[in-house]
């Protein structure tokens, strides 16, 4: 327990902010990063958004309670708390991160823009540490984390493109056709399932005791002293087993199994990705607040950074995150990300004119070829199918595998960046830029990538300024920064609401040009 009587006025304020802004920031992560967990399932209309949130939230909470070493990377890997000097200085760094992160994530979510909690957190910690005590920054670790984020985007893009092109070439748009699935369903579904199990179970959960024992037993059976060779052998064996099981189910249950194969795999992929998210991104966003609480309880920097964080704290953060996933801003992020990679002709998106112009020039060099994605269909309720279930499976499987692998290496990576890269790469594999609002979709993609760079710069500079104000002005600086946070948040909300209405109207005009022309003539 924290002895309140032993705390100074500044430390008491830090305690209140650590608890309050930990909850606030976790909800904001739910609005943005976690909203991307259900993109593929929502885009393929496999589940309703509410059902998808409940299932994904359950997996996030489970992953959070089995958090990996990532939480220590965010807590003391980017900078050395013991070298900062005083307890108040370390608390200033952690609190400044939240003051900036809450408004930064909210602003991006309000405009439907996906942004990385992990990347923002890393640059916020760097900015605050540089402002307070630059010598404590662990540049080797920070560089490794940033390189890991970049590599995860590139790896996801290449893997998603190649896998999507391979499975699309085999299955085409016959995702429920029994004869096609009897021929290709086993190796496609078996490969995706084997990848999920291998990377999530044996990589993402490698620190769990029974998983360690399972790994040791498997490698003994395989008689392999080389971990890499043993892993490849295990992956191939799992692929074969799952392929046989899926083929057997198709033979026994016929059309019923064919109809359910890819939707079920898509939901399993969403659950796996959500579990990996709980291990990685949720651990990142919870780290500053929980670390501040541990420091206040120990009243010693060196002891406080070594105290393990209790599972029930992460459980509470997971529940708050799920609440954030159900908000209006989270829905905007999901719809915008889905529309960016949609196989539909007309989408409700916004991008700056220079992005659309650049996209137009880029698309002039494309080779004219038929789109591989199926033609757009509607659900019985009239909802657009932005993806088919085959593509949704690839998006989820590749994303979950990359994130779980990063967690096993204690590397914080971005679920947002990985998921978005998978959406764009599979869209390129399906040639979605051959028709419809191709310039707008590619322009939006360019704008998203640009905003990621801008978010890093904003995070570092803003947090450095906030940390300087709080460190030198104490409670006055803290109060002033909170006021600015709320004012900026209010301004962003008004502008985002106006843009959302304008984007919807413009999308309707593009989809119904004849009707709009008649309105103009009447006017």
Q: How far is CA 233 from CA 184, 279, 461, in A?
A: 22, 26, 48
The pLDDT value recorded for residue 197 is 81
The pLDDT value recorded for residue 57 is 85
φ/ψ of 79, rounded to 5, equals: -140, 160
Report the candidate in 335, 199, 168 with the shortest Cα–Cα distance to residue 262. 168
The pLDDT value recorded for residue 518 is 46
Q: Answer yes or no: are the C-beta atoms of 460 and 124 closer than 8 Å.
A: yes
Determine the Cα–Cα distance for residues 38 and 334; give it in Å rounded to an integer.
8
Q: Answer yes or no: are the C-beta atoms of 511 and 436 closer than 8 Å.
A: no
The pLDDT value recorded for residue 202 is 60
Q: Answer yes or no: are the C-beta atoms of 322 and 61 closer than 8 Å.
A: yes
Give the DSSP letter of residue 310.
P
Determine the Cα–Cα distance for residues 31 and 293; give it in Å rounded to an integer.
24
* Long-range contacts from 446-451, C-beta under 8 angstroms, 24+ separation: 446/351, 446/355, 446/358, 446/359, 447/351, 447/352, 447/355, 448/113, 448/114, 448/340, 448/420, 450/355, 451/108, 451/113, 451/115
The pLDDT value recorded for residue 306 is 65
The pLDDT value recorded for residue 127 is 94
pTM for this model (two decimals) = 0.86
Q: Which residues contact 306 (CB under 8 A, 6 or more apart)?
A: none
- CA 419-421-423 angle, 5° bins: 70
Structure tokens at 272: 């796996």
Give the DSSP letter of residue 368.
P
Q: How far is CA 217 from CA 111, 193, 199, 519, in A?
A: 50, 21, 17, 72
Q: Hey, which residues does 137 pair with through a beta bridge?
A: 79
Report the candidate in 34, 1, 11 with the shortest Cα–Cα distance to residue 321. 34
Q: Answer yes or no: are the C-beta atoms of 18 and 293 closer than 8 Å.
A: yes
Q: What share of the chain is helix, strand, coil (3-state, %, to 5)?
A: 80, 0, 20
Q: pLDDT 10s digit of each residue in the chain, 523 long?
A: 677 777 888 999 999 998 898 888 888 888 887 778 888 888 888 988 889 988 988 888 887 776 555 555 666 678 888 888 788 999 999 999 999 999 999 999 999 899 888 788 889 999 999 999 888 888 888 888 888 888 889 989 999 999 999 999 999 889 999 999 999 999 999 998 988 887 666 655 655 565 666 666 665 655 545 555 566 777 888 899 999 999 999 999 999 999 999 999 999 888 888 887 777 667 677 778 888 888 888 877 776 666 566 777 778 888 888 888 888 888 888 888 888 888 888 888 889 999 999 999 999 888 878 888 888 777 777 777 888 999 999 998 888 888 777 766 666 677 888 889 999 999 999 998 887 788 999 999 999 999 999 999 999 999 999 999 999 999 999 999 999 999 999 999 999 999 888 888 777 776 666 655 444 444 4
Give the DSSP letter of residue 33.
T
């Amino acid at each position: 327990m924290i002895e309140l009587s032993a705390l100074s006025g500044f430390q008491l304020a830090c305690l209140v902010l650590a608890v309050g802004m930990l909850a606030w920031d976790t909800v904001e992560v739910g609005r943005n990063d976690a909203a991307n967990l259900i993109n593929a399932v929502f885009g393929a209309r496999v589940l309703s958004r509410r059902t998808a949130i409940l299932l994904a939230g359950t997996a996030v909470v489970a992953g959070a309670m089995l958090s990996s070493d990532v939480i220590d990377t965010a807590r003391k890997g980017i900078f050395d708390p013991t070298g900062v000097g005083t307890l108040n200085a370390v608390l200033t760094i952690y609190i400044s991160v939240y003051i900036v992160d809450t408004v930064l994530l909210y602003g991006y979510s309000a405009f439907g823009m996906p942004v990385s909690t992990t990347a923002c957190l890393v640059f916020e910690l760097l900015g605050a540490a540089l402002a307070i005590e630059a010598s404590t920054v662990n540049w080797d670790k920070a560089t490794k984390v940033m390189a890991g984020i970049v590599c995860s985007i590139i790896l996801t893009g290449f893997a998603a493109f190649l896998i999507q092109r391979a499975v699309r070439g085999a299955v085409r748009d016959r995702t429920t056709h029994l004869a096609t699935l009897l021929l290709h369903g086993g190796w496609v579904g078996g490969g995706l399932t084997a990848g999920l199990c291998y990377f999530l179970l044996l990589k993402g959960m490698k620190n769990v005791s029974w998983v360690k024992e399972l790994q040791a037993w498997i490698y003994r059976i395989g008689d392999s002293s080389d971990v890499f060779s043993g892993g490849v052998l295990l992956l191939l064996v799992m692929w074969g087993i799952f392929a046989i099981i899926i083929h057997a189910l198709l033979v026994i249950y016929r059309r019923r199994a064919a109809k359910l194969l890819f939707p079920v795999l898509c939901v399993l992929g969403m659950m796996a990705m959500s579990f990996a998210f709980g291990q990685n991104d949720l651990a990142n966003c919870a780290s500053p607040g929980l670390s501040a609480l541990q420091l206040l309880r120990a009243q010693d920097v060196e002891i406080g950074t070594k105290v393990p964080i209790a599972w029930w704290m992460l459980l509470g953060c997971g529940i708050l995150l799920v609440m954030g996933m159900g908000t209006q801003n989270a829905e905007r992020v999901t719809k915008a990300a889905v529309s960016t990679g949609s196989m539909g002709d007309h989408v409700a998106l916004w991008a700056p004119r220079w992005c659309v112009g650049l996209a137009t020039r880029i698309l002039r060099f494309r080779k004219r070829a038929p789109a591989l994605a199926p033609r757009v269909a509607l659900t019985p309720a009239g909802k657009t199918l932005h993806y088919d279930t085959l593509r949704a499976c690839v998006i989820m499987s590749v994303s979950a595998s990359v994130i779980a692998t990063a967690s096993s290496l204690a590397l914080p990576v971005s679920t947002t960046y990985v998921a978005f890269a998978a959406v764009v790469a599979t869209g390129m594999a399906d040639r979605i830029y051959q028709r419809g609002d191709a310039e707008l979709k590619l322009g939006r993609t360019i704008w998203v990538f640009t905003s990621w760079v801008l978010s890093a710069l904003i995070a570092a500079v803003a947090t450095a300024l906030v940390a300087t104000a709080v460190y030198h002005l104490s409670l006055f600086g803290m109060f002033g920064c909170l006021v600015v946070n709320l004012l900026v948040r209010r301004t962003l909300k008004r502008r985002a609401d106006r843009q959302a209405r304008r984007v919807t109207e413009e999308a309707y005009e593009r989809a119904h040009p004849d009707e709009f022309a008649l309105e103009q003539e009447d006017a």
